[in-house]
Amino acid sequence: MTYYQHPSAIIDDGAEIGKGSRVWHFVHICGGAKIGESVSLGQNVFVGNKVSIGNNCKIQNNVSVYDNVILEEGVFCGPSMVFTNVYNPRSLIERKEQYRNTLVKKGSTLGANSTIICGVTIGNFAFVAAGAVVNKDVPDYALVAGVPAKQIGWMSEYGEQLELPITGDGLTKCIHTGESYLLKNSRLIKLEV
């Protein structure tokens, strides 16, 4: 075994788990799950069958990653955040054929107790604030907060809020890395050196 599994964790036959990953207390991973390398699954995490988790993701305690959720590389899921996979669930009506895909792109952060309504895409290096309820797509590098979540700013890849004008075009740098970002046509673009 090339990953760590706590004795209380349940990993169903067929699950794929990458080298260097850590599966902590009371985790349950279903047989169809695909988990990359160096992933950390905190206490009481559930991973469904039709789930893909990229390399270097961190999923904190009490998170359920249900079917049809894809997490790209380096996604952070804060404690007790929530994914859904059926838009209008009913206990008496089975709707497994109505699961909606949710995609969380590279480097994004989903804050503690946030809720991601199924069918949305969270852009690269986006940042969802703690407690936010996301019910529509989030652009790359966007900072969203509130219920429902609304964009309140922009974030660098380092995870710092960028000082940019709310409207119009603008150029700024991350104070930690010196990387430059350009706001153009309501989209933030990282400039390559």
Judged by phi (left if over 0) then psi (alpha if -120 to 50, else beta), residue 125 lies in left
Domain that holds residue 20: 4-157
**Phi/psi at 152 (5° precision):** -120, 0
Other CB atoms within a 10 A radius of the CB of residue 126 amount to: 28
Q: How confident is the prediction for the chain on average, in pLDDT?
A: 95
pLDDT at 145: 98
Q: Output the domain CATH number for residue 101.
A: 2.160.10.10
Residues 6+ apart with CB under 8 A from 86: 95, 98, 99, 100, 118
Q: Give how many domains the chain has, as a whole number.
A: 1
pLDDT at 168: 61
Three-state DSSP at 58 gives: strand
pLDDT at 163: 85
Residue 75 covered by a domain: yes
What pairs with residue 121 in β-bridges? 103
Residue 191 covered by a domain: no
pTM: 0.95
- 26-68 pLDDT per residue, tens: 999 999 999 999 999 999 999 999 999 999 999 999 999 999 9
